[in-house]
Structure 1
Amino acid sequence: MLSTLRIRHIGVIDDATLAFGPGFTALTGETGAGKTMIVTGLGMLLGERLDRGRAGESATVDGSLALTGHEELADALDELGAEEDEGEVLVVRRVTRDGRSRAQIGGVPVPIGTLSRLVGTAVTVHGQSDQQRLRDADAQREALDRSARAEIEPLREHHRELWTERRTLRERLAEIDALLAEGERRGRVMQEALDRLEAVDPQQDEDTELRRELDRLGSAEELRGAAATAADALVGDDAPSAAALVDIAAQAAERARRTDATLAPLTERLEALRLEISDLAAELSRYAEGIDASPGRSDAANERLAELTALVRDLGALLPGPDGPAEDVTTLLTASRGAAVDLDRYARARGEREEAAARLETLEGELEQAAADLTAARTGAAEALAAAVQTELRHLEMPDAGIRVDVTAQAQRWHGKDLVEILLAPHPGAAHRPVAQAASGGELSRVMLALEAALAASRRDRSAAPVFVFDEIDAGIGGRAALAVGQRLAQLARHAQVIVVTHLPQVAAHAGTHLRIVKSRDEQRTSSTVETLEGAGRVRELARMLAGDEDSDVALAHAEELLEEARRAPGRGSG
């Protein structure tokens, strides 16, 4: 429910606050008073554009929307982080003269598309755009689906799930086919490269170690001589060696220790030094003896390095790493592990494709059955909706009009393969044609009212009452038809909040809440405000609408009579 609406700086309205009733609210006023600006403001809450010519420096609309019963909307706002105040959320839309637009829901800035989507779940504005809406096949299908939501929604959701699964599966099959095509191009080459790599069996950093070894082999004599010289300096006999000098020091310290026991740690360290010198000399000798200066070892190392170099050269481009072709054995081994993973992926993709193709074949049958179930449900719902709308049209002084809701086949989409058309035969013998083409202006408005009334009557959740705004609902009608429209609007207000901009007293008399747009003039400009009418004030406004003279005794009497008839009429809206 829309409880209040505040409009600032739109057209002739500087600042006006409207308090709507829970049932049927009528908006009346003289021509040019600004009734259209009210509908414009409501449209702004739904994300509609504002004509710059109607905007002041900053045109603003604030609307308080009650969330009772609108669980889907409440959940969306909760996820958005919007603030509530006693079960209501404040919706704000501001448009500057230069066209910049801002929107907030519950204090949270939102894009205009989000504003339209969220508020649009609760508020529907009917007006001059209805003809376009009735040309929209999707809108007509949605109307039919709403008329039998309990039966159709589970079927549609099941169809949507299957449709989504099929789309995902098709996308995955395309990915697998691309992967298999890549495998066809690269798989054989990669496998041959891996086979050659396995035959050569290079080890991590082997080429680097071979180069180091060849450097050593090239300097073998020099290295051997240096090691031998170092060993002789430690333990050699030709000159005083480090070992001999340490022995002299150790013996002297041992003799002194016998007199002074505090030298014991030093004698132990000298003993350890003597052992370390002996070990070092032994290792140097082993190093010198271990240097293989034979031509055979050098040749073998060169041959192995040449083999590895050729391997890296030949396979580097076939098994590239993340930074390009491999330049050494280690990078090549790393790339080979990635190639092995790719080969395994290609192999698994073949099996996955078989499974996906089998599931897709099954899914096609399931989707076809789900679409058929939807068509059957919609066909049954179409008959019921047509009958309900037909009944409403009889109440709206269109007893000879014939309504048909056709469900025909079209290309399958996420919601099924049904094209829904609401067709109207305005009088007996006339062919059924699309409503937007077959109905006159007044008839079109009554068809929309009949459709909304039928849909509201079919809604089982009475707490989730939508808000319907009707502009020009009474265009082109009068007399009995006007009274009938007023009665059906009051009937609709049992199940929804109804806000109507009207110039017909027969319609306004049935409202539970009556708001008047009041125009005032001064030397500078014309402006409008809004007042709530009750009692005598309401009678005077109805008299003005009847006769153009709110002081006419005849018109006042007629207005009283209209109000009394409206009070006695079945289906009177709350208020």
Structure 2
Amino acid sequence: MLSSLRIRHIGVIDDALLEFGPGFTALTGETGAGKTMIVTGLGLLLGGRLDRGRTTTASAVDGTLELTGHTALQDALDELGAEADDGEVIISRRVTKDGRSRAQIGGVPVPIGTLARLVGSAVTLHGQADQLRLRDADAQREALDDFDAGTVRPLREAHAELWRRRRDLEERRRRALALHQERDRTEAALSAALTRLEEIDPQPGEEQQVRADLERLGHAVELRAGSERASLALIGEDAPSVGSLLDIAQESLRGPAAVDDALAPALERIESLRLEVSDLAADLSRYAQDVDASPARLDAANERLHELTALVRDLGPVLGGADDLEGLLEASRTAAADLERFAGAEAELADAEQEIRRIDEELEVAAGHLTAARHAAAEVLAGAVQDELAHLEMPAASVRVDVLEAPAREHGRDEVRILLAPHPGADHLPVATAASGGELSRVMLALEVALGERRTDHGAAAPVFVFDEIDAGIGGRAALAVGQRLARLAQHAQVIVVTHLPQVAAHATTHLQIVKTAEDGVTRSTVRALDADQRVPELARMLAGDASSERALAHAEELLADAQQRGADE
């Protein structure tokens, strides 16, 4: 239930607080007093936009919504982290003069779309231009499902669960098919790459080694000549060498060392140097002999380097984009695992498709049960709405609720159309086009009354209905009938009505008057709650335009008494 609404700086309303009753609240006032601004404020809480011309400063709307029975809404607010106090949540909307907007629910900032979705789950705004239940196919289907929720909703949820499972299976099938197609594209390439790697058999670090060999082979003559000269310098016979000089030094110290032991260490070091020089010269000589300067060896190294380079160039894109030999060898180690993964794709695809076929059979059965339940509910709903229309001075109207086949979706394969023949002999057409403005409002009211009684039967939370100009284009007995049916609807929901008809306002349990005042050339409006005595002159004003007319006052008292008696009888 919407317990209160505060509006600031919207049109002629500077600051107004409205406290609604739990049943039927009527909003009345003179033309231009600001009744439309009340609806505009409520619309802002439902995500509507504000005409910039309606305010010269920032506008604000705050509403207090009781959450009792609105389990889904409470869960959504808990997920947002919104604060609720004693089962109530504060909803706020701020709009600046330049059109910037902010919204909060329970102190948590939310996008306008989220505001509309959450508040709209509890509050429905009906106006001449937005009879959504009568214009939108999805809303008409929801209305039918709500009407027989005890039967239809379990069947619909069973269908939705199967639909979600099929959607998951379809995603599984899509992944398996993509893997299967990828296998077709890459399996042969991977197998060929691994075969070529096995044939060439590159080794870790081989490319660097081959490049080092090529560097050495390119300088083979220089390497051989240098090592040979170095060997001769150490122990050569044709010219003085390190070895021959060490021999002289050794012979020179041998005799003195025999006389003085102090020279013995020096002699030992010279002998050690002589042996080291001989070994070094031998190593250099062997190195010179091993240097291969043959063109065949150079060609072989160049060929191996080309082979390794081509391997990286050709197989790199196939094996994960490797750009060197080390990366190629690393990628090859995971390629075998990729082939195993591809091997299971065909079996996974077959399993998914088999499961989809099985669940399609279950969906067909579930959709059939759901369609049958909707057909049965549609016949009863049409009768209930038609009965209500008889109470609303449309006894000759004929209502038909058609359940037509439509593309399958989560909620089933049905499209629901509420059709109206406003008088005998007329074709049944969608109510949005078959009914006049006043008839459209009454059809919508008849639908809500029929739904409201069933909603109570199924234990659903009582919604909030806001009706703007539902009585436009009607009067007399029809207006009185609308007031009576609104009162009946208020037994199962909270009803807030902006009206200019006393026959409607008389049935309200809470009566709020929008009062217009003019001061210093500025018009302002406020809202006041009327007690029983204050309601009589307001109804008299609505009846005759004169709140002091004795005849109008008597008629107003009669209207109130009759409405109260009818309420007591029901």
Shorter-chain-normalised TM-score: which range?
0.7 to 0.9
Who is 1:410 aligned against? 406
Who is 2:494 aligned against? 497
> Deviation at 1:144?
0.8
Contact 2:60 2:94 in 1 (8 A): yes
* AA partner of residue 13 (structure 1): I
Who is 1:65 aligned against? 65
Instruction: Single out whichever of 174-183 and 129-138 deviates more from structure 2.
Output: 174-183
Instruction: Single out whichever of 415-424 and 331-340 deviates more from structure 2.
Output: 331-340
Instruction: For 1:67-82, list aligned pairs within 5 A.
Output: 67-82=67-82
The superposition leaves residues 120-151 of structure 1 with CA deviations (integer Å, 9 ceiling, x where unpaired) of: 00000111124565222111111111112232
Q: Is 1:344 matched with 2:313?
A: no
* AA partner of residue 441 (structure 1): G
Who is 1:471 aligned against? 468
Distance 1:284 1:90 in 2: 99
Normalising by structure 1, report the TM-score.
0.83
Instruction: For 1:50-61, list aligned pairs within 5 A.
Output: 50-61=50-61
* AA partner of residue 533 (structure 2): A
Instruction: Single out whichever of 43-52 and 547-556 deviates more from structure 2.
Output: 547-556
Who is 1:358 aligned against? 354
Distance 1:541 1:226 in 2: 128
Who is 1:40 aligned against? 40
Who is 2:123 aligned against? 123
Who is 1:186 aligned against? 186
Distance 1:292 1:449 in 2: 112
2:439 to 425, 440, 443: 443
RMSD, aligned α-carbons:
3.7
Distance 2:438 2:519 in 1: 36
* AA partner of residue 388 (structure 1): A
Q: Unmatched 5+ residue regions in structure 1?
A: 245-254, 256-277
Q: Secondary structure at the match of 1:57?
A: coil
Q: Secondary structure at the match of 1:317?
A: helix
Task: Report the identity percentage.
Answer: 59
Instruction: For 1:237-386, list aligned pairs within 5 A.
Output: 293=290, 295=292, 303=300, 306-307=303-304, 309-314=306-311, 316-320=313-317, 324=321, 326=323, 328-386=324-382
Label 1:153 to 1:288 Cα distance change in 2 as closer, same or farther (>3 A).
farther
Contact 2:179 2:345 in 1 (8 A): yes
> Deviation at 1:482?
2.1
Q: Is 1:455 matched with 2:451?
A: yes
* AA partner of residue 79 (structure 1): E
Distance 1:197 1:95 in 2: 69
Distance 1:106 1:228 in 2: 95
> Deviation at 1:321?
7.6
> Deviation at 1:343?
3.1
Distance 2:102 2:281 in 1: 85
Who is 1:522 aligned against? 519
* AA partner of residue 303 (structure 2): A
* AA partner of residue 485 (structure 1): V
The superposition leaves residues 512-568 of structure 1 with CA deviations (integer Å, 9 ceiling, x where unpaired) of: 110001111234222211000002211111111122211122222222222222222
Who is 2:89 aligned against? 89
Label 1:538 to 1:23 Cα distance change in 2 as closer, same or farther (>3 A).
same
* AA partner of residue 566 (structure 1): A
Who is 1:267 aligned against? none
Distance 1:457 1:284 in 2: 114
Q: Secondary structure at the match of 1:532?
A: strand
Distance 2:318 2:494 in 1: 68
> Deviation at 1:426?
2.0
Contact 1:197 1:311 in 2 (8 A): no
> Deviation at 1:224?
7.6
1:534 to 527, 531, 536: 531
Q: Unmatched 5+ residue regions in structure 2?
A: 236-241, 251-260, 262-274
1:432 to 428, 433, 439: 428
Distance 1:512 1:289 in 2: 118
> Deviation at 1:341?
4.1
Q: Secondary structure at the match of 2:89?
A: strand
* AA partner of residue 491 (structure 2): R
Who is 2:418 aligned against? 422
> Deviation at 1:332?
1.8
Distance 1:288 1:415 in 2: 93
The superposition leaves residues 482-506 of structure 1 with CA deviations (integer Å, 9 ceiling, x where unpaired) of: 2222222111112111101111112
Instruction: Single out whichever of 310-319 and 398-407 deviates more from structure 2.
Output: 310-319
> Deviation at 1:302?
6.8
* AA partner of residue 498 (structure 1): V
Instruction: For 1:211-250, list aligned pairs within 5 A.
Output: 211-212=211-212
Contact 1:462 1:495 in 2 (8 A): no
Label 1:522 to 1:288 Cα distance change in 2 as closer, same or farther (>3 A).
farther
Label 1:344 to 1:299 Cα distance change in 2 as closer, same or farther (>3 A).
farther
Distance 1:349 1:404 in 2: 52
* AA partner of residue 489 (structure 1): L
Contact 1:24 1:493 in 2 (8 A): yes
Q: Secondary structure at the match of 2:69?
A: coil
Normalising by structure 2, report the TM-score.
0.84
* AA partner of residue 51 (structure 1): D
Contact 1:471 1:501 in 2 (8 A): yes
Instruction: Single out whichever of 180-189 and 441-450 deviates more from structure 2.
Output: 180-189
Instruction: Single out whichever of 312-321 and 430-439 deviates more from structure 2.
Output: 312-321
Distance 2:3 2:124 in 1: 15
1:481 to 449, 470, 478: 478
Distance 1:287 1:119 in 2: 94
Q: Is 1:143 matched with 2:143?
A: yes
> Deviation at 1:240?
7.6
* AA partner of residue 405 (structure 1): V
The superposition leaves residues 88-114 of structure 1 with CA deviations (integer Å, 9 ceiling, x where unpaired) of: 111111222222221111111111111
Contact 2:467 2:496 in 1 (8 A): yes
> Deviation at 1:380?
1.5
Contact 1:7 1:60 in 2 (8 A): yes
Label 1:203 to 1:503 Cα distance change in 2 as closer, same or farther (>3 A).
same
Distance 1:407 1:286 in 2: 102
Contact 2:24 2:490 in 1 (8 A): yes
Q: Is 1:399 matched with 2:431?
A: no
Contact 1:126 1:468 in 2 (8 A): yes
